[in-house]
């Protein structure tokens, strides 16, 4: 079997001695055989026509990939059965702290027609939801793992109805799951920063175990773009946090919020590469010249967009964002909760949706579409050179019932196993 594209680390021990050593060190090292890895593209004079793959043996030690070797039948090796190895997925926008998942079914109510309506609903139901929020967060994490996600950026309610209890309860769930799942947290004033008088709670949360300062529709909910963004930026700077705000506003106020946030990031360069706008629906309504100028502002400020890839009339300009070098990520957002009864927990499904929306149906385009689910980690670069996995990489990966990345995206292929830091945390 060939070894195209891989720098292999081979043992100098005979196979029998090597196997004995593995048995002695099984607590530290794991060997997988029959692992399918992408090795390059096949192409004619027009386009990429197929993805090349081969079977390999992988040795994992101390949570990292120690070696990638030609495939062979090593005693005691875990049989990957020819399944494709892909990077673990990353759910970059979800609310782990409030979900119906793991409890009785409940559909969405028609009574709530706006974000303000939902705020009023939450103020009523959150105290009761907090009683089971740790348990349900753990069940939701297990769902994400089964769909191939080993990492999430979760927004956590910080408001008077739940105080800091959503954060405390979610931290308990994450602690219980820490051996198989990683997360970063956004302190999120879901009921409006000033609307619910959450400034003090947000400052308390900023000093706790969180990574980002959140925000919500500053004009619609709080009545002032500048006042809300200024507070958010200052809090992030004071406590060395990033920023990730929800922005549903699709009109002029949405565009002005994006522009003003970009201006504040340029004034505070420490926030470059650490500032994100979730949803950012305003970008879907811009004509080409304004979109181009806005993308240039986002790129200069090194800001990212986290899109849930909405359907219907709200088609986001994701290809344009990519062309401008703007980081684009996705997440499953509300998974079976009072905001929405939908949500599979799969960001691979989001990659599939993106491919369908933008016509990414070729082998090369489908393989590139995987990037939105893995936060830009892809097995091959666009020229077919191997860039993942390599010895020394963290052993976070999925084994997928697919022949290549393109098929996995097109068919939303089944996740057969997920490994986190070299440990199998889900398998079928």
Q: Residue 45 maps to which CATH number?
A: 2.30.40.10
What is the enclosing helix (H) or strand (E) of 338?
none
- pLDDT value at residue 22: 41
Residues 231-275 have pLDDT tens digits of 999 999 999 999 999 999 999 999 999 999 999 999 999 999 999
- pLDDT value at residue 281: 96
Residues 89-136 have pLDDT tens digits of 999 999 999 998 998 888 878 887 788 888 898 899 999 999 999 999
DSSP string, 258-327: HHHHHHHHHHSGGGTTSEEEEE-GGGGG--HHHHHHHHHHHHHTT-EEE-----TT----HHHHHHTT--
Q: Cβ(324)–Cβ(296) under 8 Å?
A: yes
- Looking at the structure, tell me whether residues 55 and 157 fall in a common domain: no
| Crossing angle of helices 199-206 and 225-238, rounded to 10° | 30
199 found inside a domain? yes
308 found inside a domain? yes
408 found inside a domain? yes
- Looking at the structure, tell me whether residues 105 and 240 fall in a common domain: yes
- pLDDT value at residue 113: 76
What would you report as the CA-atom Rg of the chain, rounded to the nearest whole angstrom?
Answer: 23
- pLDDT value at residue 3: 42
- Looking at the structure, tell me whether residues 217 and 126 fall in a common domain: yes
351 found inside a domain? no
The Cα–Cα gap between 5 and 254 comes to 46
- pLDDT value at residue 105: 87
120 found inside a domain? yes
- Looking at the structure, tell me whether residues 274 and 250 fall in a common domain: yes
Domain of 417, in residue numbers: 15-82+378-427
- pLDDT value at residue 17: 43
The Cα–Cα gap between 321 and 171 comes to 33
**Positive/negative CA dihedral, 101, 106, 110, 116:** negative
Residues 342-386 have pLDDT tens digits of 889 999 999 999 999 999 999 999 999 999 999 999 999 999 999
Instruction: Among 299, 324, 345, identify where a domain stops.
Output: 345
Least confident interval from 6-10, 302-306, 407-411: 6-10
Residues 13-62 have pLDDT tens digits of 344 443 444 444 445 799 999 999 999 999 999 999 999 999 999 999 99
- Looking at the structure, tell me whether residues 122 and 253 fall in a common domain: yes
User: What average pLDDT does this structure show over 187-215?
Assistant: 96
- Looking at the structure, tell me whether residues 54 and 189 fall in a common domain: no
Least confident interval from 58-67, 310-319, 358-367: 310-319
Q: How far is CA 114 from CA 117, 118, 120, 158, 280, in A?
A: 5, 6, 10, 20, 17
- Looking at the structure, tell me whether residues 239 and 312 fall in a common domain: yes
Q: How many domains does the chain have?
A: 2
User: What average pLDDT does this structure show over 149-177?
Assistant: 97
Close Cβ partners of 305 (under 8 Å, ≥ 6 residues apart): 276, 277, 278, 280, 283, 298, 321, 326, 327, 328, 329
- Looking at the structure, tell me whether residues 152 and 37 fall in a common domain: no
Residue 140 has pLDDT above 90, yes or no: yes
Residue 304 has pLDDT above 50, yes or no: yes
The Cα–Cα gap between 368 and 363 comes to 9
% of the chain exceeding 70 in pLDDT: 94
When the pLDDT of each residue in the chain is averaged and rounded to a whole number, the result is 92
- pLDDT value at residue 107: 86
- Looking at the structure, tell me whether residues 281 and 212 fall in a common domain: yes
The Cα–Cα gap between 373 and 25 comes to 34
- pLDDT value at residue 14: 41
Look up the CATH number of the domain holding residue 329.
Answer: 3.20.20.140
5 found inside a domain? no
- Looking at the structure, tell me whether residues 43 and 192 fall in a common domain: no
- Looking at the structure, tell me whether residues 95 and 78 fall in a common domain: no
- pLDDT value at residue 13: 36
392 found inside a domain? yes
- pLDDT value at residue 408: 98
The Cα–Cα gap between 80 and 273 comes to 37
- pLDDT value at residue 6: 52
- Looking at the structure, tell me whether residues 165 and 219 fall in a common domain: yes
373 found inside a domain? no
Residue 173 has pLDDT above 50, yes or no: yes
- pLDDT value at residue 115: 82
């Amino acid at each position: 079997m060939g070894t195209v594209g891989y720098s292999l680390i081979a043992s100098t021990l005979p196979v029998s001695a090597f196997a004995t050593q593995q048995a002695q060190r099984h607590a530290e090292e794991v060997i997988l055989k029959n692992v399918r890895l992408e090795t390059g593209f096949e192409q004619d004079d027009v386009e990429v026509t197929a993805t090349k793959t081969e079977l390999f043996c992988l040795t994992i030690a101390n949570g990292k990939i120690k070696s990638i070797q030609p495939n062979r039948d090593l005693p005691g090796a875990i049989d990957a059965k020819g399944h494709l190895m892909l990077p673990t997925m990353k759910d970059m926008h979800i609310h782990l702290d409030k979900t119906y998942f793991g409890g009785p079914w409940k559909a969405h109510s028609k009574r709530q027609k706006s974000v303000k309506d939902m705020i009023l609903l939450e103020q009523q139901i959150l105290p009761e939801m907090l009683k089971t929020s740790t348990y349900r967060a753990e069940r939701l994490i297990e769902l994400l793992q089964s769909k191939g996600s080993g990492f999430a950026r979760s927004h956590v309610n910080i408001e008077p109805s739940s105080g800091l209890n959503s954060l405390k309860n979610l931290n308990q769930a994450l602690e219980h799951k820490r051996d198989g799942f990683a997360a970063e947290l956004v302190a999120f004033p879901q009921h409006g920063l000033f609307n619910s008088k959450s400034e003090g709670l947000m400052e308390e949360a900023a000093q706790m175990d969180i990574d980002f300062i959140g925000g919500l529709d500053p004009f619609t909910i709080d009545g002032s773009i500048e006042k809300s963004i200024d507070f958010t930026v200052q809090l992030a700077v004071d406590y060395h946090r990033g920023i990730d705000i929800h922005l549903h506003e699709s009109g002029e106020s949405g565009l002005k919020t994006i522009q003003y946030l970009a201006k504040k990031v340029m004034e505070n360069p420490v926030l470059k590469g650490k500032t994100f706008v979730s949803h950012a629906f305003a970008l879907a309504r811009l004509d080409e010249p304004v979109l181009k100028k806005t993308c240039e502002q986002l790129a200069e400020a090194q800001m990212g967009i986290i899109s849930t890839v909405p359907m219907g009339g709200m088609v986001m300009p994701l290809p344009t964002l990519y062309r401008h070098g703007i980081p684009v990520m996705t997440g499953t957002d509300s998974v079976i909760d009072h905001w929405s009864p939908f949500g599979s927990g799969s960001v691979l499904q989001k990659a599939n949706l993106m491919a369908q929306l933008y016509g990414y149906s070729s082998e090369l385009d489908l393989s590139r579409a995987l990037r939105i689910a893995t936060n830009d980690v892809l097995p091959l670069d666009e020229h077919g050179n191997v860039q993942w996995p390599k010895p020394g990489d963290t052993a976070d990966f999925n084994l997928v019932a697919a022949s290549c990345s393109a098929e996995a995206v097109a068919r939303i292929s089944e996740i057969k196993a997920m490994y986190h830091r070299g440990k199998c945390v889900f398998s079928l």
